Amino acid sequence: MADVYDGGDDNTAMKDLQRLADQGDAKAQFELGFRYAHGYGVSRDDQEAAKWYRQAAEQGDADGQHALGVMYDKGQGVPKDFQEAARWYRLAADQGHAKAQTILGRMYAQGQEVAQNDQEAFRWFRKAAEQGYATAEAVLGSMYYEGRSGAPQDYVLAHMWLYLAAAQGFEKAAELRDLLENAMTPAQIA
């Protein structure tokens, strides 16, 4: 199926992709939604993107669930509805989708459409960070640095998570890591 998505003549690829999506292939439905959302090989159409994302999401596709959550979050192709966005993010996060986990962590940290809950925020950020998602690593590092949102203040853990995020090019994590190193002993850094 990757050949259909990535290879050759774009018209042929779109026809094949459309055929697979029409046959109920969730990955093809997600890919078709992505193409409509970004205008790849088709004219950009948020409503069409939301339609295909929904079809993938309703089949349990985590990428489709996350993407549909984003559409509801931003009001693109569907009415803006933060509760509906949270519902789709949660479904994707429960399947291990790191971006959805990070967004859900932010929602719990800020009390956005869910009850504010520091422990839940910490839990979702940690799940995403443990998968190597740089944004979550940086947030988790800052939580340990400041001792907030369910994380105890722990400079060693803060340094570790910030180091991992910085290694992926997350500049703010590198800046905070460097600042943190000034407050740590050489033994803590090692």
- Asked whether the beta carbons of 129 and 142 are under 8 A apart, the reply is no
43: number of Cβ within 10 Å: 7
**pTM score, two decimals?**
0.88
Task: Give DSSP secondary structure letters for 21-89.
Answer: HHTT-HHHHHHHHHHHHHTSSS---HHHHHHHHHHHHHTT-HHHHHHHHHHHHHTSSS---HHHHHHHH
User: What is the per-residue pLDDT for 47?
Assistant: 98
Between vectors from CA 154 to CA 149 and to CA 156, what angle results, nearest 5°?
Answer: 135
pLDDT 10s digits, 16-67: 999 999 999 999 999 999 999 999 989 999 999 999 999 999 999 999 999 9
Task: Give DSSP secondary structure letters for 98-146.
Answer: HHHHHHHHHHHHHTSSS---HHHHHHHHHHHHTTT-HHHHHHHHHHHHH
User: What is the per-residue pLDDT for 2?
Assistant: 43
Token pair 């004219």: residue: 43
- Asked whether the beta carbons of 135 and 102 are under 8 A apart, the reply is yes
pLDDT 10s digits, 87-120: 999 999 999 999 999 999 999 999 988 899 999 9
Where residue 149 falls among pLDDT bands split at 50, 70, 90?
A: confident
Q: Which two tokens stand for residue 43?
A: 């004219």
Closest CA to 40 of 14, 19, 76: 14
Alpha-carbon gap, residue 158 to 162, rounded angstroms: 6
